[in-house]
Structure 1
Amino acid sequence: MNTSEFGLFGLGVMGKSLCRNLANNGFKIAMFNRHVDGVEVDVAKNFKAEHPELSEAVAFDDISAFVNALETPRKIMLMVNAGKTIDYVIEDLLPHLSKDDILIDGGNSNYKKTKERFEYLKSKGIHFIGTGVSGGEEGALKGPSIMPSGDLEAYNNVKPFLEKISAKDQNNLPCCTYVGPEGSGHFIKMVHNGVEYVEMQLLAEVITILEATGHNLDEIANILETWKNTANSYLLEITIDILRTKEGDDWLVKKILDKAGNKGTGNWTTIASAELGVPSTLIAAALFARYTSFYKEERIQLNSNFKGGTVSDLQLSSTEILEAYQFARIINHYQGFKLIAEASNKFSWNLNLSEIARIWTNGCIIRSTLMEALVEVFKETTNILTNSQLIASIKHYKPSVKKVVSQCVLNDITASCLGESIQFFNGITTVDSSANIIQAQRDYFGAHTYKRNDDDGVKSHHTIWNKTN
């Protein structure tokens, strides 16, 4: 007899936390983890034994028994590595599934692959829900932000489970919403991670600048603590904790090798931006900053070739640095949501930017007071740089970001995202850009033609630029 309401396939860090979350919320669940001799043995059973809240859960390492323990239509959430593993798991499960069963991919899958899997499983009579999940291990346990997409009717069957285990916003509403069709849930999770890359990079740059002004990490932590009043975020809070953590008499972070890893979502976001023709320049800058960090040996060599001495004269106040940081964060969120809006138009997803911002106000890594403000902003516009309050903020912060970035350049301090924020802003607010030169060059060597601004850009024109040839 089928007794379990919900199945979870894959007991990695996130899978385990979600199982405990489901059980803590009163759901009868079935848990599965594969058996690999000498490597993964009785994982589900041992996990169940470790946590009293899982006493009513059932544990399996046999797929058939796992599937047969679930009520129909079956609801199975896959928490396995993105990529080919998802396809292998789907093929393993398919022989045991019935028409109208529901598979939920809770990993960081590429949105294009989610669309392919959605169509493939639809042909088999199986519903597929691509779901972004943000919050890390703690969020998965206590309440993550959840971003499901796919068939709305199928979502309504799993809605009670996902909404119950999600984080709650300021109004105690679930930080989980039906995002849209196909792979839109995984798309916005991908963009979430791109925005996250920038938020992390900006804090790293801020700390570097504050160090260069003569502060130690304890002092910097105290400075950042005061920033909570006007620029609070989850990432700011954890960064303060990191700066205050010591090993012996020294700060632990000083002992960490300066090579930043990545799982690929920043890369995907940058590729998606290029494919859609959207200038998500801060995400690209943050991604390439990580790539640059990985060339440690070359950085050491080139430093000896080109750099000497220390910072000579960095005349910056912590208030100016804070205002530069706030400027760049607004531009980051503008670019991230611009990418989502353009994708929504391109793919006819009809995404609700205010609702997306709302489910990102708690549970997820990029939750912040700025995100809370954007919930209301997006009820009036899809472009946050047209909001009167944010316009006033940008105008107020702009002198500081110009000064901070200039000082960094003059003192050989890397500030990739801070610098790009003002460069992008200058570009997006320029009426007459240098792109006319680019079009003339393209027409000269490739006869690509150009439009004219004295006929409203209606006709295409070509000029023989070198009359002697």
Structure 2
Amino acid sequence: MNKSEFGVIGLGVMGKSISLNIAEKGFSISVYNRISDGEESIVSDFLSDNNFFKNITGFANLESFVASVERPRKILIMIKSGLAVDSIIEQLIPNLSEGDIIIDGGNSHFNDTQKRTNYLKNKNIHFVGCGISGGEEGARKGPSIMPGGTVEAYKEIAPILEKIAAKDSQGKPCCSHIGNDGAGHFIKMVHNGIEYAEMQLIAEVYSLLHTSLSNKEIAKIFENWNLGNESSYLLEITAKILRKQEGKNDLIDIILDKAGNKGTGSWSSKTALELGFPNTMMTSSVFDRYISSFKERRVELAQKINRKNTNESVNIEQLKKGYQFARIINHQQGFGLIKEASNFYNWDLNLSEIARIWTNGCIIRSKFMEDSISILKENEDYFEDQNNFNYLNSSEASIIKVLQFGLQNRISLNTLSASYNYWVGMTTKKLPANIIQAQRDFFGAHTYQRIDTDNSSFFHTKWQEL
């Protein structure tokens, strides 16, 4: 029996799609899915549905599956993150050989990936934490792939991963070795954090336009914006969503306003807190999803409020500028968090290259992400780029008007507001943090620094007699 070049564990939506992508690119592949309740139909149904692929072999027995893959074995795990990953690793270990490579393609936390990397290193098995973005369609047609781990392991898996990845505007694969241990999953985590904020921004823009315009009119505006610098995959699909009908109704109007989440957005916020980095927009967008989940309570409280909208229309040109203003800030915070983590974990991450692999295949692909390749190659961040700084400065008046309109019409704009407040804070010479330092010293003797001495000196004042 000929050995397969690659193995995939898990035939859920993503596992199936990426397996077909690999097979379609001409690689021989073994697939495995555990037997559930005595049924073997998951594997057999997958093979039956895709019987025109002669280079796919299916297994419901793990030992046979591993034995079918050529050495060094390259096995991709596509299952739910958490304890299930640890469980399958433990089942794999007795069947693996030194130099084999386990790739975790799920949304695992980067800290877990670091632990698994060290654990398997002691057994001379490579572990690659690999972020994969693009959803079902991306996995099937070409995702953005973010592998972390050793350079040695990446060289072994690169011919396959780079072949199945999406391609950028120059035809290069949207896949690159990110960095050591947990770097790949960290980058995917931040990708999702940026995604959370991008989605919430579009939702807030929709809520502002919806005060006076129909869904189809808003869709037309988004389609027009998508022809310019504001263009993105998320804006494109939102326009399509707003045009979708079910019978005589716009489908969007009968979808419950409770947003789900799988935790990756909150992971970005927690990590930013641990690193002491302000990613206020991601955090606001996470809390907006949490607020949306309190539907019954919101309805109950809304019935006690008797206020009407002003029936005015938001200025669309100002809104367009405010939206792009907020998107620049979102990317500034997202890539800033990556840079902070790179320094902390000694990953030596290439921000420009990360932007490049996010230009196609992933959910946050956009015209601005394409521009970010050169921006981050030539500058430390977006504020250092004179064009972006000038745009933010000149658009400040527009986002203020947008926020004022939202306040007057009782429209919650947490994420748009977060972008403005971050900009103001970062461009304010003197903040009121001196009050906070004095308060801390008053009740806790935490000391403070002074502007009339060097920054290495700390002082304590006896603020009152006991």
Task: Please confirm whether the aligned pair reaches a TM-score higher than 0.5, indicating the same fold.
Answer: yes
Residue 215 of structure 1: aligned partner: 213
**Cα distance in 1 between the residues matched to 2:80 and 2:176:** 23
Report what 1:321 is aligned to.
319
Say if 2:12 is the partner of 1:12.
yes
Q: Structure 1 stretch 379-388 or stretch 151-160: which is displaced more?
A: 379-388
Question: Counterpart of 1:351 in 2: which secondary structure?
Answer: coil
Corresponding residue of 2:343: 345
The equivalent residue for 2:448 is 450
CA contact (8 A) 2:209 2:313 kept: no
Q: TM (normalized to structure 2)?
A: 0.98
1:46 positional shift: 1.6
Match of 1:138 in 2: 137
* Partner residue, 2:55: 56
Q: What amino acid is aligned across from residue 413 of structure 1 in structure 2? A: I
2:375 aligned partner: 377
Q: How far apart are residue 419 of structure 1 and its match?
A: 1.1
TM-score computed with the length of structure 1 as normaliser: 0.98
Please tell me whether the aligned partners of residues 310 and 408 of structure 2 are also in contact (alpha carbons under 8 angstroms).
Answer: no
Secondary structure at the counterpart of residue 378 of structure 1: helix
Tell me which amino acid in the other structure corresponds to 1:258. Answer: D
Q: Is 1:36 matched with 2:36?
A: yes
Partner of 1:21: 21
SS of the residue aligned with 1:82? Answer: coil
Residues paired across the two proteins, number: 465
Deviation at 1:333, TM superposition (A): 0.3
What is the aligned partner in structure 1 of residue 361 from structure 2? 363
2:394 aligned residue = 396
Secondary structure, aligned partner of 1:361: coil
2:420 maps to which of 415, 419, 422: 422
Distance in 2 of aligned mates of 1:55 and 1:199: 41
- 1:228-307 matched pairs, under 5 angstroms: 228-230=226-228, 231-305=230-304, 307=305
- Name structure 2 gaps, 5 residues minimum: none
Give, in whole Å, the separation in 1 of the partners of 2:205 and 2:359. 23
Q: Residue type of the partner of 2:359?
A: T
**d(CA) in 2 for partners of 1:45, 1:64:** 17
In structure 2, C-alpha distance between the alignment counterparts of 1:392 and 1:37, rounded to whole Å: 61
Equivalent position amino acid for 1:223 in 2:
I
Q: 1:100 to 1:299 in 2, by over 3 A?
A: same
1:459 corresponding residue in structure 2: 457
State whether structure 2 residue 432 is matched by structure 1 residue 434: yes
Displacement of 1:54 = 2.5
Note if contact 1:48-1:55 (Cα within 8 Å) is conserved in structure 2: no
Q: Does 1:311 align with 2:301?
A: no
The answer to whether the Cα contact below 8 Å between 1:2 and 1:68 also exists between their aligned partners in 2 is no
Report what 1:91 is aligned to. 90
- Note if contact 1:341-1:382 (Cα within 8 Å) is conserved in structure 2: no
> How far apart, CA to CA, are the structure 1 residues paired with 2:64 and 2:41?
14
Q: CA deviation at 1:457?
A: 1.6
Q: 1:408 aligns with which of 406, 409, 427?
A: 406
Match of 1:67 in 2: 66
| Inter-partner Cα distance in structure 1 for 2:30 and 2:182 | 26
Please give the alpha-carbon distance, in whole angstroms, between the structure 2 residues aligned to 1:70 and 1:149. 22
| 1:111 maps to amino acid | F
| Cα distance in 2 between the residues matched to 1:348 and 1:2 | 42
The Cα shift of 1:315 comes to 4.6
- SS of equivalent to 2:132: strand
- Post-superposition CA distance 1:57-106 (Å, at most 9, x none): 11000001100001001000000000000000001111100111000000
TM-aligned CA deviation for residue 304 of structure 1: 2.0
After TM superposition, give the deviation of residue 383 of structure 1 in Å.
1.2
Contact 2:319/2:398 (8 A) holds in 1: yes
Check whether the contact 2:355–2:372 (CA below 8 A) recurs between aligned residues.
yes
1:279 aligned partner, one-letter code? P
Equivalent in the alignment of 2:151: 152
Question: Which whole-Å CA distance do the structure 2 matches of 1:301 and 1:37 have between them?
Answer: 43
SS at match of 1:104: strand
Quick check: 1:181 aligned with 2:164?
no
State the 1:42 CA deviation: 2.8
Paired letter, 2:21? N
Amino acid at match of 2:223: E
Q: Compute the displacement of 1:410 (Å).
A: 2.1
8 Å CA contact 1:167–1:362 kept in 2: the answer is yes
- 1:66 and 1:402 mapped to 2: Cα distance? 59
User: Distance in 2 between the 1:63 and 1:248 partners?
Assistant: 47
Residue in structure 2 matched with residue 45 of structure 1 by the alignment: 44
**How many percent identity over aligned positions?**
49
The CA distance in 2 between the partners of 1:51 and 1:393, in whole Å, is 51
TM-aligned CA deviation for residue 381 of structure 1: 1.5
Q: Distance in 1 between the 2:52 and 2:416 partners?
A: 46
Matched to 2:85, the amino acid is: I
CA-to-aligned-CA distance 1:98-120 (integer Å, 9 cap, x gap): 11100000000000000000000
Partner of 1:3: 3
**Cα distance in 2 between the residues matched to 1:94 and 1:296:** 46
| AA of the residue aligned to 2:401 | K
- Say whether the 8 Å CA contact 1:147–1:178 is kept in structure 2: yes
